[in-house]
Amino acid sequence: MVVNVSLAVSFKCLECGKEYPLTEFVYSCRACSSKGMFRGSLDIEYDLEEAKSRLSKETLENRKTPFWKYKELLPIADESHIVTLGEGNTQLIKADKLGSSIGASNLFLKNETRNPTWSFKDRVFTVLVSKAVEYGYKTIGLASTGNAAAAASAYAAKAGIDCYIFVSETTSTAKITQMLMHQAKVVKIKGGLTEAGSVSTEACKQFNWFHVTTGKSMQPFSTEGPKTLAYEIAEQLNWEIPDNIIVPVGGGDTFGGIWKGFKDLKEIGLTNKLPRMVLAEAEGAPLITKAFREKKQYYQVPPIEPHTIAAGIKVGIITGPWPLIALNESHGLAETVSDDEIVEAEKLMAVKEALFSEPASAAPVAVLKKLLDNGKIGRDESNVCIITGSGLKDIDPLEKYLEAPPMIKPDIRALKALLEQQKQ
Amino acid sequence: MVVNVSLAVSFKCLECGKEYPLTEFVYSCRACSSKGMFRGSLDIEYDLEEAKSRLSKETLENRKTPFWKYKELLPIADESHIVTLGEGNTQLIKADKLGSSIGASNLFLKNETRNPTWSFKDRVFTVLVSKAVEYGYKTIGLASTGNAAAAASAYAAKAGIDCYIFVSETTSTAKITQMLMHQAKVVKIKGGLTEAGSVSTEACKQFNWFHVTTGKSMQPFSTEGPKTLAYEIAEQLNWEIPDNIIVPVGGGDTFGGIWKGFKDLKEIGLTNKLPRMVLAEAEGAPLITKAFREKKQYYQVPPIEPHTIAAGIKVGIITGPWPLIALNESHGLAETVSDDEIVEAEKLMAVKEALFSEPASAAPVAVLKKLLDNGKIGRDESNVCIITGSGLKDIDPLEKYLEAPPMIKPDIRALKALLEQQKQ
């Protein structure tokens, strides 16, 4: 007999509270989803009372397997279904030099660039692909061109299942290459990401593929992996919860997942404080900040055409309730920053902490600087910025922000002349 | 008073055996270096007798800091000089699916892509930059466009010292971007890597910069960081030494360093076996394999114009004695593979183990397959392939090996037609 290692008990609608058994997969609440697009998001409920008796600080600290050591709080019942590439347990960098240059006395960077596919999405896809296996799906499908596509194709390869990825017609060859190397089935869709998303949704429905497009209300498990960011941060800080967690937000599943994780820890009794959740958006993709400030529901904000160099947070729709839930419950902060501020922060992080991140990952650092400067965050508060992905993922947009290197003849005198000139 | 944590005792010439004190830096043996280019390589000698009393398996296993836990066997005397980004302690993947597809029953991949700058060069540069700091240098200089340049610029940023990088005039903007983000001072030199190398050497001499171009006889510390690969592999395999260690080789410092590391462990008494060192080169850059088979000295092989898509091993000179020393002492094997074989192995690794590496890192897998097929390695032997760097580092050459994805209209009927067509 298989032992159920997970304490997950049901799907629960975030709008009406209706519960559904986990035995059969449902994308969204049947009643609420009819109210409109992205409505009727389901959350995963756990038996946290039971977790209290099973999980102590010592139990968790003594387990050596990263990520899946939190198996009771993850939704995979049968351990043999777990598809892992050794994700998680990423560094928490004490960033004193970066901190002092922006005026924060207590700053940490959670370095998600050191995951197997070099981004935080590995936490999402170890859960989603394991769950696909557990439900018996032979194929997953999604629309993405970024970190999610890379992670999905890698985990599907590891599981030996098919992975269909729908991309816009303008997607660069470099981005597609990583997917193709993992033998994902990539299909270009004429038009943009919206068209790719529609085909993906429809294909998953018609062909019974497991739909894993993240940042959408329709994949209830996509907040589960990111909870482990909260668990790891707490453990790495010796169970002292920092004042602020600052996260770059596209869809907001990760933002919501981290918040859910911190709530779990407090409810289980492993910690006694909750952090404030701070949401970082680009000025050209500011919808959640706008909705939060205007006290609107996520579905009341009309789509826009987003523009920012930070691909990971270039999103023009709000695809679910999670970011606003986390902001409201944590009495959080939402802030936007310009592309110039993002690149400035990316450079600062690369110089002060030698950490080269993708532009989206620099947004939290830029937001933190802004909130320190305007006094919304105190200089002695403790802060953790989530650094979501490697700088190698998104290099091209940086070119125009950097000065092209000088070219000289292969002659030491030419170099001496150059150095003299640079001194002046 | 500062405690000297290192057991390094002297520089020692690999040709004539003459020793030099570590207190003053020397690039190469004064007598032997006059015999020709790359002659007079110095090695670092350690007091391994003292190491026997200080280092037990338990001592090492109980230390939690990766990489610098081996501080007695690394050349930094004063721990306050250590410049670290949390490198090392990378995964050792048990690659059963890849193994069975190439016919190896016992295969491991040492996943160096999860280092801070996503390559094995972080091991080299945590040592070189720390040593630059220890000797009081304010500037490092090197010629490189690849993993070494990325690592050098990151570690120099962390140390707060200047880093001059000399690159050929054709170096792509994408490669230079990472260096510039870390505020390295990049200078393009008209001509190729040879010209860049000459300017680098001359500049370091004239301006008293610490020369860190790796794969050259003149930087004696460049074999030291890679020794930790041997230490980690041994510890991860519970001190059971594998039969074969298969390494992609450009300059050969890493190949030599790994061999030196395994010899250390045996001499200290932590292990009782030495592995066979297997060297992987590209068919278009086969100089060490050629020298080994023809029983030539490294300096007897004339330079060639190398050609291969695997940038990390595209080297047309033999820059030092290390690879041949390791091959001879370990009764090793050297083998070359074609670009087609390299890309085939890279795909296989990405599909079977979901590990996306740069082409150079796939060469050991291709070589292993070849040596299994021709019987030079037995199918029941145990093998560790060193996977040196992330696939994100070198994506462009793959395009021509991959089929471009199909493009369809945003319509489910178009997708159905495509899937039907693909079935046939």
| DSSP structure class, residue B75 | S
Report, in angstroms and rounded to the nearest whole number, the Rg of chain B calculated over CA atoms.
Answer: 22
The mean-pLDDT minimum among A84-93, A167-176, B343-352 falls in A167-176
**Cβ–Cβ below 8 Å for B195 and A410:** yes
Q: What percent of chain A has pLDDT over 90?
A: 89
A-B Cβ pairs (cutoff 8 Å, strict): 184
pTM for the whole thing? 0.97
User: Residues 195-254, chain A: which have Cβ within 8 Å of B?
Assistant: 195-196, 198-199, 202-203, 206
> Mean pLDDT throughout A161-171?
92
pLDDT in tens, B154-177: 999 999 999 999 998 888 888 899
pLDDT of residue B215: 65
Q: Quick one: tokens of A299?
A: 């579905």
- Per-residue pLDDT tens for A58-83? 999 999 999 999 999 999 999 999 99
Q: Which residues contact A388 (CB under 8 A, 6 or more apart)?
A: A112, A113, A119, A120, A147, A248, A254, A312, A357, A358, A360, A361
B405/A188 touch (CB, cutoff 8 Å), yes or no: yes
Task: Please say if the pLDDT value at position A226 is more than 70.
Answer: yes
Nearest chain A Cα distance for residue B294, angstroms: 35
Mean pLDDT lowest among A250-259, A270-279, B328-337: A250-259
* pLDDT for position A171: 84
Token pair, residue B349, equals 């690794």
Q: E-strand spans in B145-255?
A: 162-168, 185-189, 210-211, 244-248
Evaluate if residue A217 carries a pLDDT over 90.
no
Cβ distance of B114 and A114 shorter than 8 Å: yes
Enter the tokens of residue B375.
Answer: 């019987």
pLDDT, mean of residues B317-326: 92
* H/E element, B9: strand B8-13
**A281 in contact with chain B, both atoms CB, cutoff 8 A:** no
Residues of chain B found within 8 Å of residue A203, distances taken between Cβ atoms: 412, 415
Q: Is residue B37 less than 8 Å (CB to CB) from chain A?
A: no
Q: Please list every residue in chain A whose beta carbon sits closer than 8 Å to the beta carbon of residue B412.
A: 199, 202-203, 206
pLDDT (0 to 100) of residue B217: 62
Q: Which of A178, A186, A190 is opposite residue B405, by nearest beta carbon? A: A186
Pick from A165, A351, A409, A418 the residue to mutate for testing the B interface (most B CBs within 10 Å).
A351
Which residues of chain B are within 8 Å of residue A391 when distances are taken between CB atoms?
Answer: 178, 181
pLDDT, one tens digit per residue, over B202-249 is 999 999 999 998 765 679 999 999 999 999 999 999 999 999 999 999
- On the question of pLDDT at A187 being above 90, the answer is yes
User: Token match 């000139």: residue?
Assistant: A421
Q: Are strands B162-168 and B185-189 parallel, antiparallel or unpaired?
A: parallel
**By CA distance, what is A171's nearest residue in B?**
B405
Q: b/e per residue, B16-55, with b = 16+ CB within 10 A?
A: eeeebebeebbbbbeebbeeeebbbbbbbebebeebeeeb
Question: Mean of the pLDDT values across residues B137-146?
Answer: 93
pLDDT at B172: 81
Nearest alpha-carbon partner for A419 in B158, B206, B129: B206
Work out the mean pLDDT of chain A and round it to a whole number.
95
Both tokens of residue A43? 């959350």
Instruction: Say if residues B407 and A189 touch (Cβ distance below 8 Å).
Output: yes
Cα distance from N-terminal residue to C-terminal residue, chain B: 77
Q: Which amino acid is at A60?
A: L
Report angle CA B217, B300, B229 to the nearest 5 degrees.
40
Q: What are the φ/ψ torsions at residue B213 (nearest 5 degrees)? A: -60, 120
Q: Do B199 and A391 touch (CB under 8 A)?
A: no
Taking CB atoms and an 8 Å limit, are A346 and B186 in contact across chains?
A: no
Residue of A nearest to B65 (CA): A91
What does the pLDDT read at residue B110?
A: 98
CB of A82 within 8 Å of a chain B CB? The answer is no
Mean pLDDT (whole number) for B53-72: 96
pLDDT digits (tens, 9 = 90+) for A321-368: 999 999 999 999 999 999 999 999 999 999 999 999 999 999 999 999
> Which phi and psi angles does A244 have, rounded to 5°?
-130, 135
Residue with tokens 């298989």: A2
SS3 at position A47: coil
Optimal mutation site among B346, B351, B418, interface A, most CBs of chain A within 10 A = B351
**The predicted structure's pLDDT at residue B216:** 59
DSSP class of residue A21? Answer: E
In angstroms, what CA-CA distances link B179 with A355, A399, B78, B243, B311? 12, 12, 28, 38, 17
With a cut of 90, say whether residue B332 has pLDDT above it: yes
Which residues on chain A are in Cβ contact (under 8 Å) with B167?
Answer: 405
Determine the residue among B87, B164, B357, B392 to mutate to test chain A binding: the one whose Cβ has the most chain A Cβ atoms within 10 Å.
B392
Name the minimum distance, in Å, from the CA of B234 to any CA of chain A: 19
3-state secondary structure of A125: helix
Banded model confidence at residue B299, pLDDT cuts 50, 70, 90: very high
B191 contact residues in A (CB cutoff 8 A): 410
On whether any CB of chain B is under 8 Å from the CB of A85, the answer is: yes
Interface of B with A in 136-155 (CB under 8 A): 154-155
Tell me: pLDDT of A1 over 70. no
Structure confidence by residue, pLDDT tens digits, A100-158: 999 999 999 999 999 999 999 999 999 999 999 999 999 999 998 789 999 999 999 99
DSSP structure string for A275-342: PEEEEEEETTB-HHHHHHHTT--GGGSPP-----S-GGG---S---SHHHHHHHHTT-EEEEE-HHHH
With the C-alpha atoms ordered A107, A388, A229, A65, is the resulting torsion angle positive or negative? negative
Chain A residues with beta carbon closer than 8 angstroms to that of B211: none
Cβ contact, residue pair A412, B176, below 8 Å: no
Say yes or no: A333 contacts chain B, CB-CB below 8 A: no
Q: With H, G, I as helix, E, B as strand and everything else as coil, classify residue A229.
A: helix
Residue B415 has pLDDT above 90, yes or no: yes
